Structure 1
Amino acid sequence: MPALRTRSHAIVSASAVIVTLLVAGCASQRQPMPEIAPPPAPAPRATPAPAAPKPVRVEVRPTAPTRYVVQKGDTLWDLSKRFLYNPWSWPEIWYANPQIKNPHWIYPGDVLTLYYVNGQPRVSVTGGPRVTGISTIVLKPGVQYEKLPSAEHPIPIQTIRPFLIHPRVVPVEQMLKAPHVVGSSEDRILFGNGDQVYVRGLPAKPKSSVYSLYRPGAVLRSPKTGRIIAHEVTYLGDIRIIHDGPVATGVLEKVTRAVHPGDRLLPYAKKDLNYTFMPQAPKVKLDGQIISLFNAISMVAQYQVVVLDIGTQQGVRKGDVVALEQHGRLIQDDNASPGESRSVRLPNSRSGVAMVFRAFDHISYALVMSSIRPIEIGDVATNP
């Protein structure tokens, strides 16, 4: 992944990368209301815990430097690829120096040293201003200004921040339990900024007075069971509850699309959420598929977002790196030996690598970090 340029004294995070956020949109025509999917079938009997994946294999590149000075503009993903074949194995080799301040961060000027302990590779900060305590000062006449350090991002924040603020796919269980707009005191079916509307389904003592409004759209099904696991949703705006009760009263705010009866209320996204990501290998054996694409009709590539049919219930964590594979084609082997089937399924082929940046119970969002060929719905998501 190409390095991202920042201002001077950029900070490169070895154990975390901070990501920020933003939003927008507008329209106002009424559209047919989609139906909310019926409750899912009763959960099947408990199944054994998923098998543990193979141990993370740390492969150091033959060209990996034994000593490297961090440069301005370096990113975590860049540094990982400089030392390793698999960037998600970085946590396995990184050794945080306890004798220096902020040992989990890497700064321009830090000297990284690759060495081995009992045959296992390690990387640690062994030199630079933070270790020696001696910094380089350029003497100039007059006043010298120094900019505050800024964090490096190994991924394009503008790509994922809309998904961090407002979900685009919501688990079906959450949509079924969500409160909904029932109407207003006036005989209207379209509502906008400043309108008072009535809401049913809120808890007796809500934890917050502000919610976000969403409209359910297409349903997403598990490719394995056919069960509905999620709804695609459209963000409409926010609502502030001014009177509690079985039928509560709310005022619409920041409306980007006309609100209808039946639109759902979901928790308001806080602006101080943790947006730190550390690429890592999954801890469990993964068996998932891509079930939806964003901002694309049939295919996506690097730095686009996909939805996987696996989530926290299947052991997926934020930061997990998954391999994306295309199903092997079924071909006819005209040279098959006697007794062999003429029909042959070719092995799956790697199409790219993605990193999970938001995980729900049974689904997760992942950003494609690299792609070898176009990535499509139905591609397999497995351990890298």
Structure 2
Amino acid sequence: MPLETCSMILRHRRAALALGAAALTVLGGWASTAAAFPNYPITEGQRRTANEVAQAGVPLSELAPDAPDAYVVKRGDTLWDISKLFLRRPWRWPELWGMNMAQIRNPHLIYPGQRLVLVRKDGRAYLQFDDQPGVVKLSPRARASDVDGGAIAAIPLHLIQPFLNDAVVLDGNEFETAPRIVAGREGRVLLGRGDSAYVRGELTPRRDWRVFRNAKPLKDPVTAEVLGYEAAYVGSAEYVRAGSTVTAADGQTEIVPATFTLTTLRQEAGAGDRLAPTGPRDEPNFVPHAPAQPVQGAVVSIYGDGLSAGQNQIVAINRGRRDGMEAGHVLAVLRTGERVTDREDPARAQLKLPDEAHGQLFVFRVFERVSYALILTAQTAVRVGDRCTQP
């Protein structure tokens, strides 16, 4: 296929993705211009850092001890992975991007097959693409993709994709009055995929609905303030038939609930579960970055009612939109230091050991007073009450 034809197809398909549609993309071994892509969220602070680094490079002291001289981007890599290879602090991704802004104009335009070369000169480091012909050669081919043009993602999106729209935190417990499942066919208590669910409540004739378990309050572990109500996602349902009222033989009015079919489930549904209309799907464009202002927060809950969590699990923290949190913020999570007794001291002095960082969080969904975060790393289990700060 001629290169001009490939480029034309690529432009059209990327435009479709920008509208939120799944498309087939043509993956070549080249980097396309930024104009062919949607505008990704790059803050002024990140751009300023990148511009500063672009002028002078990065001090060698900022490089990871075992930073490679060259690296070929692989399918499945993320911007976070590559940042860790070259930099001591991977959340400082603008420095990786800014090492050579002339070539890496947008960190989202880094593709599998591209070769990144680290240049060290006069105590500074610069990152650039190796454009020598024949270094890396990938034949254009069609493949199904839900990633924009095959460019690498900032973080492992598959870990948080289910939570982008389905995890909900409400300011008030609105689900108390939402439509609810009152029964299943033939008296079934637990309902599975494909089962009918009978629903009572105020409904609009929309086809697609989400099913949630009754919301639980999220309390600040420090102040005990109720920050919101977390509704656990159960699955999805399809509207089949409207409810009605009928007159029985004895003249009494009877309520006939609406009928739904359960289409996908994460757990079995049952009477009392609530329904909400399905909203538009978010198209995430995450850019890992440290908060511009100091953060003093704490872990509120472990998603799924666990007592502790490890790497790749989800937690809620007591900082949200009102506190300046943004999707993409990277935070350090700290374990509160223990209180011990100095047994060699005749007065038996009580000591408070220092708080120690033991992991990193990546904020990916922000509500007014609460945010969800992915545990990127954890040396020990993360628990409710653990503090989180800027890295």
TM-score for both structures, normalised by structure 2: 0.64
The aligned counterpart of 1:109 is: 114
Matched to 1:86, the amino acid is R
3-state SS of 1:362 partner: coil
Structure showing the higher helix proportion among its residues: 2
Q: Counterparts of 1:1-384 in structure 2 under 5 Å?
A: 60-61=62-63, 63=65, 68-73=70-75, 74-95=77-98, 97=101, 104-107=108-111, 108-113=113-118, 123-128=126-131, 134-135=133-134, 146=141, 148=143, 150-153=150-153, 155-167=155-167, 170-173=169-172, 175=174, 179-181=178-180, 193-195=195-197, 197-200=199-202, 210-216=208-214, 218-228=216-226, 229-240=228-239, 251-254=260-263, 256=265, 257-260=268-271, 262-270=272-280, 272-294=281-303, 297-334=306-343, 342-384=349-391
* Offset of residue 284 of structure 1: 2.6
Contact 2:72/2:115 (<8 A) preserved: yes
Using a 3 Å threshold, how does the CA distance of structure 1 residues 277 and 210 change in structure 2: closer, same or farther? same
How many residue pairs end up in the alignment?
A: 316
Cα shift at 1:11: 9.3
* Cα offset, 1:253, TM superposition: 3.8
Residues 237 and 263 in structure 2, CA contact (< 8 A), matched pair in contact too: yes
How far does residue 236 in structure 1 lie from its aligned partner after superposition? 4.3
* Long gaps (5+) in structure 2: 1-26, 35-47, 50-57, 144-148, 245-254
Distance (Å, rounded) in 2 between the aligned partners of 1:12 and 1:331: 57
Cα distance per residue 1:214-261 (max 9 Å; x no partner)? 12154321112212232352414325387699x99563442643443x
Identity score, percent: 25
Structure 2 CA distance for partners of 1:122 and 1:274, relative to 1, 3 Å: farther
Deviation string 1:81-125 (CA, Å, 9 cap, x unpaired) is 2222110011245236457897742233344445799x9x77553
Alpha-carbon distance change, 65 to 345 in structure 1, aligned in 2, over 3 angstroms? closer
Contact preservation (8 Å) 2:297, 2:317: yes
Matched residue type, 2:128: V
Counterpart residue number, 1:4: none
1:291 alignment partner AA: V
TM-score between the two structures when normalised by the length of structure 1: 0.65
Instruction: Please say if residues 282 and 320 of structure 1, whose CA atoms lie closer than 8 Å, have aligned partners that are also in contact.
Output: yes
Q: Contact 2:29–2:136 (CA<8 Å) still a contact in 1?
A: no
CA distance in 2, matches of 1:180, 1:325: 41
Contact 1:237 1:253 in 2 (8 A): yes
Distance 1:295 1:10 in 2: 41
- Secondary structure of the residue aligned to 1:357 is strand
Query: How much does 1:360 deviate?
Result: 1.6
Alignment RMSD (CA, Å): 4.6
- Taking a change above 3 Å as real, the CA distance of residues 239 and 9 of structure 1, as seen in their structure-2 partners, is same
Greater relative CO (CA pairs within 8 A, separation 6+): 1
CA contact (8 A) 2:326 2:363 kept: yes
